[in-house]
Structure 1
Amino acid sequence: MTPRPASVGRRFDAPPRTRAGPGVIARAETGAFLIWTLALVGISGGLLWALGLNYDGISGSAPSKIHPATYLAVALFGWVMLRAGNPVIPVANALTRRPASVLLAVCGVLLLVLIAAQGGTGLAGSIDTFVLAGLVPILLMDRDVATLGRLETVYHLVMLANALLGLFEAVSGQRFFPFRFDGIAFETDTRSAALQGHPLANATMTACYILALAKGGGRLAPPLRAGMIALQLVALVTFGGRSATVTTLVLGSGVGLSALNRTLRSGRIPLAGAACACFALTLLPLAMAALAAIGFFDTLLSRFVSDGGSAQARVDMLAIFDAIPFRQLLFGPDVLQVSTLRRIYGLEWGIENSIISDIFYHGVLVTAVLVLAVGLYLTEVARSCRPGVWLPILAFAILVNTFEGLAGKTTMLAKFALMLIVLFPPGRRAPRS
C-alpha cells in the first residue's frame, strides 16, 4: 500500500506549529502595551519611592529621575522601527500623521537642552512632561480596536483601584504613596494621594475621567458607567481639589441637563432608565445621611473654608512680576533670583499656575512655544478621536492652570492623551446613555 504523503490533510499555507508565527509576536506586543499602560497610569513618584527610587527628589542617580513609562515608550518605539525593517518609515509616518505630537516631543528635547545650557535643574521634567506625551499618539496610531479595548480595560481598572484606595486613605488616615520630595512627605497635607501621586494631579485626572465617562467615553454599560461616575465623584472630594470639584459639578451638570432635555423632548423615556432613576432617588437620602455621619461633608467644606493659604499664594505669585524686568521675563529670568523671590513671598510649595511658572523659569518666548505646542497637540489628539473629547479637554485646560501642573515634572499630559485615545477611539460609536 502506498504511504500517504505528509502534506495531505494539512493546509499548504499553514505555518509549522513549532515555529513562532506572527500571532505570538502580536500577543507579545499587546502585552508590552498593556504593561506600559499600567506603568503610565498606575505608577506615581510615591510608589517609586516605596520601591527604592527617588523619582521626585534631587538626590539619587540620574536614571531614577525618568519615569518607567518613558523608558517603555522609547523601547516600544524602537521596536516599531525595528519591526518596520526601515527605521525611516515609522518616523515618516509620525511626521505625516502626527506632526503635532512630533513637535511636542521635539520641544521637550529642546527644553532639556535649554535647561542644561542655563545650568538649571529638573532636566528629566522636560522628558516626562513633553517627550513621553508626544510618543503616546505615535505609538497608538496603528493599534487595532481589540488592543485599544484591552488598554481601556486597564485604564478603568487602575482608576477604580485609585478611587478605592483614595477612599480607604481618607477613612483610615493613612497615606500609602504620598508625594515625597527627597523622601520627605508634607505631613500637614492630609489629602488622599492613592495611585496618582500628587493630590491635585489626582483630582485633575479624576475630574477629566468623570467628564469623559459622562460624555459617553469607553464601553461601559450604563449601570457600570453610572456607578463608576458616582464612585469617582466621592473619591474626588478626598483628593482635595476644590477647582476640580467645582469644574466637574458645573460641566457635569451641563451634560446631565442637556441629556435630560433631549430625553424629554424625544417623548420616549426608557422604562429601565425610569426605574433606575426612581431607585436612585429613593437611595439618595440614605446615601447623603451615611456620608454626613462619617464626616464626608465636613471634609468637603473644610477645603473651601480653609485653603491653607492657596488663594493668597496665587496673589503673591503675581507680585513677582514687579520684581523682574520685562527683558529678563522675555528671555528667561535668572533661576537663582526666581528661587529667592519665591522664598520671600512664601511660595516654597510652588507657583500655582503652569503658564506663569514657565514664564518665570523659561521666559515668555519659550512659554509661548510650549503653550502653542500643547494646544496643537491636544487638537490633533481630539481630531483623531470620535466626538465627545472636547469637554474633558476643556476641564484639563482649566485645571492644569490651577497648580504647577505641566510646569513641573509630570506624566499627566501623557495619561490624559492616553485616556482620550482609548475612551474615544474613532471607529466606535458613542454608547447610548
Structure 2
Amino acid sequence: MERRVPPARRSAFLLRAPAAAAAGRTGRAHDERWRWPLALACLGLILYLLLSDNLLVTLGIPYNVPRGAFPFKIHPGTYCIALGFVLLLRGNPWQRVGKLFQLAPALGSLASVTAVIMVYALVRFGASGSGFFIDTLLAPALLGLIVLQAPVERRPVVFWIVLALSALNAVIGIGEAAVGNRLVPYMAGDKLLVEGFFRATALGGHPLTNALRTAVLMFVVLVLPARYRLTLIPLFAIALLAFGSRSALATSLLLLGVWGAFSFMRGIVARHFDLRLALGLPLLVLVLPAAVGALGLSLGLGERVLREFYWDDSAQSRLLAFHIFSFPSLEELLWGMGPARIEWALDHLKSSTTLNDIENFWILLLLQVGIIPFIFLAGSLLAALFGLVWQGPTPLRLAALNFLILASGSNSLATKTQSLAILVAMLTGAAAIARREAAARPADPQQTPEETPAGPPRRSGFQLLHRAHLNGNSR
C-alpha cells in the first residue's frame, strides 16, 4: 500500500513574514502619501512669511491694488497650499474628504462654510472685494488639514519655520526702528504712507500685522524649554516696541502676568513649589516691562507706544465704527451690503467724523455678507480655533485668545492677510511639541496597595511625646 506523504509544514514565522512585509510597505506608502502635501504646505508657509503685500506690489504683482487679473489677487503661498491639498486627495477624493472631516471636523467646517459664502458673495456682489476669502479664511483651514494628516513627529516643522522666520522678522524690525529706515516701503495698496512716528514694517509689511503675529508667538513659545523662553520673550517684547502697537504690548504683558500667577497658584495648590517660577514671576511682572521700556528708549524704539500711550484718534475710531450700522437697510443687514456700499458708507462717516477706518473685522464681515451668513462664518471660525487648542496646554489657549483680542481691534481678517494661516501653523506644530514632551516626561511613581508595607501602624512624633509626658506626670 502506497504511503501518503503529508505536505511540508510552513513555520508560523514564514506565514507571518509576508504579512509583516506587506504591512511595512503599506506604512511606508502611507508616509509617502503625506510627504509632498506637507512639503508644499511648508513652502507656502515660508512664502507667507517672506512675501508681504507691500513686497508683492513693489515687485510689480498687483496683489492688493485695484488693477490686475484675478490670479494675481491670490498669494503665491496659497497656490502651494492648494496644490498640497489636491495631492492630499489622491485616490478616492470623496473618501479622503470624509476622513478629513472625521480627523478635524471644525477645520473642515471652516473650509466648507468659507467656500459656500465666497460663492454667495461672488454671485451677489461680484468678484471685487471677495478674493480675501481664499487667502484669509480658506487657506488656513486647508493648511491645518494638511498638517494634521501628517504623522505627529513631523508636525513641529511648521512651528519651527514660523519661529525661525518670526525671530528674523523681529531682529529686522528692531534694526529698522533703530536706524529709521525700512527694508520694504510702507504702503496702503500702491500709495506710500507717511506717519508722525516711525513704525517698523520688516517682513510682514504692516506694523499691526507684525505686532499681531509677534504677540501671539510670545505665548506659543511658552511650550518650549526655559532656555528658549528666556531669549525669545524679551526679543519679541522689544520687537513689539519697534512695531509700535500699544494694544499688542499691553495685552501680551498682561496675559503673561496672568499666566505666571495662575501657574504659581496651581503649583501651590498641588504642593509642587517651583523656585524658578517663584523667582521668575516678579521678573516677568515688574522687571521685564521696565527693562524693555528702558532698552526701547535707549535705542529710540517704540516712540509711538511710549509717548502716546493714551486714548487718541486711533482708539476713538474703534468706537465710531459702530455708527456705520445706521446706513444699511434691513435687507442689507440680513444678507450683506457688499464692498461698494461699505465704501460709500465709510466716505460719509469720514466726512462727518474723525473716523479713519473700520478697525474691527467682525463689523466688516457682518456688513459684507449679512447677519445670517455671518453667524455660520463666525461660528465655524471660533470652532476651528477652539478645536485646535482645547486639548492643548494653557499657553496655546492664551495664544488663541490673544489673537482674537488683537485681531478684533483691526480689519485684518476682513481683508487679505496670512495671519490666521500662520496662527494655525503655530498651534498645530506647538501642540505636537507639547504632546511629545508630555509623552517623554516620566510619570510620578505611585505606591500600589501591594507595595504597602505590612505591620503595625506608625505613630506620629507628636503622639509619642504626648504619651511620654502623661507617663511622667503619673509618677
TM bin, normalised by shorter chain, reads 0.7 to 0.9
5+ residue gaps, structure 1, are: 1-11, 15-20
**Contact persistence 1:178–1:194 (CA under 8 A):** no
1:359 pairs with 362, 366, 369, which one? Answer: 366
Does the 8 Å contact 1:170/1:191 carry over to 2? yes
Q: Hey, which of these two has a bigger chunk of helix by percent?
A: 2
Equivalence for 1:200: 208
The reply on whether 1:318 has 2:322 as its aligned counterpart is yes
Q: Distance in 2 between matches of 1:313 and 1:238?
A: 23
Q: Tell me, yes or no, if the aligned pair for 2:36 and 2:84 is still in contact at 8 Å.
A: no
Distance 2:371 2:291 in 1: 53
Root-mean-square deviation (Å): 3.5
Residue pairs, 1:252-401, within 5 angstroms:
252-261=256-265, 266=271, 269=274, 289-296=294-301, 298-305=303-310, 307=312, 309-333=313-337, 335-346=339-350, 350-383=357-390, 385=392, 388-401=395-408
What is the deviation of 1:125?
0.5
1:166 Cα deviation after fit: 0.9
- The percentage of counterpart residues that share the same residue type is 26
Matches within 5 A, 1:80-229: 80-82=88-90, 85-120=91-126, 121-178=128-185, 180-188=187-195, 190-214=198-222, 216=223, 220-229=224-233
TM-score normalised over the length of structure 2: 0.76
- Residue identity in the other structure for 1:41: L
Q: Deviations over 1:71-102 (max 9, x none)?
A: 111111121222xx322332111122222212
Task: Judge conservation of contact 1:178–1:198 (CA < 8 Å) in 2.
Answer: no
1:73 to 57, 72, 81: 81
CA distance 1:139–1:246, shift in 2 (3 Å) = same
Which one has a bigger Cα radius of gyration? 2
Asked if the contact 1:333/1:360 (under 8 Å) is kept, the reply is: yes
Q: 1:305 to 1:427 in 2, by over 3 A?
A: closer
Verify the 8 A CA contact 1:116 1:123 in the aligned structure 2: yes
Q: Give the corresponding residue for 1:3.
A: none
Question: Could you tell me the TM-score, scaled by structure 1's length?
Answer: 0.83
| Contact residue 170 and residue 235 of structure 2 kept, 8 A | yes
Following superposition of structure 1 onto structure 2, how do residues 215-254 of structure 1 map, counting pairs within 5 Å? 216=223, 220-254=224-258
**Structure 2 unmatched ranges of 5 or more:** 1-17, 22-27, 442-475
Check the 8 A contact 1:107/1:130 in 2, yes or no.
no
Please tell me whether the aligned partners of residues 148 and 155 of structure 2 are also in contact (alpha carbons under 8 angstroms). Answer: no
Partner SS state of residue 67, structure 2: coil
Most deviating of 112-121 and 161-170: 112-121
What SS does the aligned partner of 2:89 have? helix
CA deviations 1:103-130 (Å, max 9, x no partner) are 2112222222222223342221011111
Amino acid at match of 1:414: A
CA contact (8 A) 1:204 1:399 kept: yes
- Counterpart Cα distance in 2 of 1:199 and 1:206: 10
1:133-168 superposed Cα distances (whole Å, 9 cap, x missing partner): 211221011212332233222121011011011111
- The amino acid that maps onto 1:226 is L
